[in-house]
Structure 1
């Protein structure tokens, strides 16, 4: 073999290893910082909670939303800015960017990073701090954040043991007209994950048994949580944002759909482009009765299924031309919109960990804050 080819192979292998090293370093650094700043974030929240105790609760929520936005911008610094992820928007996206309203965000569910898509959309709409999620009860176990999510306005629900009264109690808090809200619901309940075909088969069987259309790219949506939100916040919410996210690279060369990139994969830059389609539906068009909403929601997912076929088609040319055919337009964030938050948390963390007092306070906030949060959630029995 000529020496030139040997050198070329060596350089390509070296380049691949260097690229993997930097991606792995980005994942490690990002994970350490995003979870590592939890005590500092919790400390900032405690200070604000103390300062705002004698103020109206909407004032506390205003400050809390600012803190939440600060943290989530840092999340996007790692997941979007550092990975150089290209975000392409479709549908009503550029119209909703101009609006400032309370919304029910209905998203398709296929990845552990679908919540970050909500970050991407809401930041571009100037509403990042207003994000609140209907989320699985097991997320209560995340140290510090598990407690914080609830006080921020997120709603925990138990799969299989859904408590309607407790969800209504949480929704009542969000009725306050002075608390803007983006309430995120994933009606499918769990992820559409080709790697776990039994979940998909169960959904398809349910559709056949109930004589409704089988979905090709989604699970049959569950209506209970969505109905409670629309019923109790119908006057508060301005519109539903029907959001469909499609991660490029989910379909292989043979045209077979695989698993969407998960948290580690996205952070390591394995997904270069994400397509986000947004459809704005005024609340006046949304049924209030549960059975009518159930039919409406399934019809909505039939439409989402048809849209998804453009991105998951077996035909390579169909997938390659989707951006042009559907009028997708890239929309990038300014560097400062995410870098600023990273610098703020760096400025708080580095000096604190360089002093004995700072390290002691960090550990105390981590340990006692976590235990206190667990105790509070258990006593309140929030779901």
Structure 2
């Protein structure tokens, strides 16, 4: 009887997970044309306004949408988020920064949301993104209009990146420039890529990395060189996902978007180190060595994490953690309740209300469909003509 009950509970939880994934995906993707339609109205209205005024309104709309994302990825999954490092200093005031993080999952950008929202800077995120993401319907064009920067990894054109960075020099446009210097996600199962990456490091005279790919410094250096007078600091961020160590003590692939929404990841650990700009080298060769040294330290943090990941002692760094989420306090954590439903539920309600006239009236469906198709095709054409990367 007990075993049958346990199996029934597992089945129920599996069904709940699938429903959560389906509903979350439909709502988040379904809200994209709504966001794009509202943004288009603001874009047209702000044509006669200065760039910083447009950006202020756009940052608000971006923040509202990302709070919808956080509703599903945080509140609906019961995720626990542990913060370590210089979090008290980072969260106490808004700054313009270069955000440098390790890259291992399609969820990494959402964890950036979780850091930024604590500072009140959620709307100010501008990602350095691979050019393939231009092809995302609606999002690809909108991200560029938000201030994100597209780059080609194989045929990198520095001048085009610098042109995109120029826009962010305005002191009235607060910004977090987010970059993942590894260039692609680290997968411990991809031995060929890992070996090639270590060979690149050795050839350059750098320490080979175990838990990361050898970082590319060019993009981050261009940001520092061109925005040095604007930046307050570099945020060196290291992320570790719970449950990514198998029974043999080997690291496994980090959970991705689907895994998160299915509730397969229970906790993430985020170490944030604030580095003042006075400590960041500006000469390219020195910067390259410096950025690699950041990843050597990240490797040390993750090595320590995975050494005890199966126990309750797993954490990233020596400092006390701040727990962000429901459940029991662990790892000497302090429960931090700054992201309540009051921060995310209004976004869900707003997009839900907008969907009523768009889906239940003939005119609304026409607007929705034309926005989806016209915005996507028009965005593709604009990005192709502008040749942004």
Pairwise TM-score range, normalised by the shorter structure: over 0.9
Matched, 1:184 2:190: no
In structure 1, the partner of 2:229 is 235
- Tell me the equivalent position of 2:168: 174
8 Å CA contact 1:256–1:314 kept in 2: the answer is: no
Match of 2:323 among 330, 339, 348: 330
Which of these residues, 347, 353, 361, is aligned with residue 347 of structure 1? Answer: 353
- Partner Cα distance (1:316, 1:371) in 2: 48
Question: Does 2:377 correspond to 1:365?
Answer: no
Partner of 2:216: 222
TM-fit CA distance, 1:55: 1.0
Partner of 2:270: 276
Q: Which residue of 2 aligns with 1:376?
A: 382
Q: Please list the CA deviations of residues 311-349 of structure 1 after superposition, one character each: whole Å capped at 9, or x if unmatched.
A: 1116745x6353795311212421111111111100101
2:131 aligned to which of 119, 137, 146:
137
Contact 1:254–1:314 under 8 Å retained in 2: no
Q: Match for 1:117 among 102, 108, 111?
A: 111
Deviation of the 1:161 alpha carbon:
0.5
Q: 39, 54, 64: which is aligned to 1:60?
A: 54
Q: Give the Cα–Cα distance (whole angstroms) in 1 for the partners of residues 147 and 110 of structure 2.
A: 17
Please give the residue correspondences for 1:186-201 in structure 2 after superposition, counting only pairs within 5 Å.
Answer: 186-201=180-195
**2:22 maps to 1:16:** no
Alpha-carbon distance in 1 for matches of 2:84, 2:255? 20
- Distance in 1, Cα, partners of 2:318 & 2:288: 31
- 1:232-255 Cα offsets, whole Å, 9 max, x none, are 000011000001111100112221
Structure 1: distance between partners of 2:374 and 2:21? 28
Query: Which residue of 140, 144, 163 corresponds with 2:157?
Result: 163
SS of aligned partner of 2:383: helix
Specify the alignment match of 2:331 in structure 1. none
Instruction: Give SS of 1:111's match.
Output: coil
Is 2:247 the partner of 1:253? Answer: yes
Question: Is contact 1:23-1:268 (8 Å) kept?
Answer: yes
User: Runs ≥4 in structure 1, deviation > 6 angstroms?
Assistant: none
Counterpart residue number, 2:279: 285
Instruction: Report the Cα offset of residue 8 of structure 1.
Output: 1.9
Contact preservation (8 Å) 2:245, 2:310: no
Say if 2:68 and 2:345, in contact at 8 Å, map to a contact too. yes
Quote the residue 1:3 is aligned against: none
Look up the SS of the partner of 1:363 in the other structure. Answer: helix
1 CA distance for matches of 2:317 and 2:196?
35
Q: Shift of the alpha carbon at 1:211?
A: 2.6
- For 2:79, the equivalent position in structure 1 comes to 85
Q: Distance in 1 between matches of 2:259 and 2:38?
A: 31
Structure 1 stretches lacking a partner, 5+ long: 1-6
Q: Aligned residue for 1:264?
A: 258
Q: Which of 282, 292, 305 matches 1:311? A: 305
Task: Check whether the contact 1:323–1:329 (CA below 8 A) recurs between aligned residues.
Answer: no
Residues of 2 paired with 1:325 and 1:176: CA distance?
38
Q: Residue by residue, what CA displacement relative to the aligned partner does 1:171-204 show, whole Å, maximum 9, x if unpaired?
A: 0000000000000000111111012221111111
SS in 1 for 2:48: coil
TM-score by structure 1 length? Answer: 0.96
For residues 213 and 323 of structure 1, the distance between their equivalents in structure 2, rounded to whole angstroms, comes to 21
SS at match of 2:302: helix
Given the two structures, how large is their TM-score scaled by the length of structure 2? 0.94
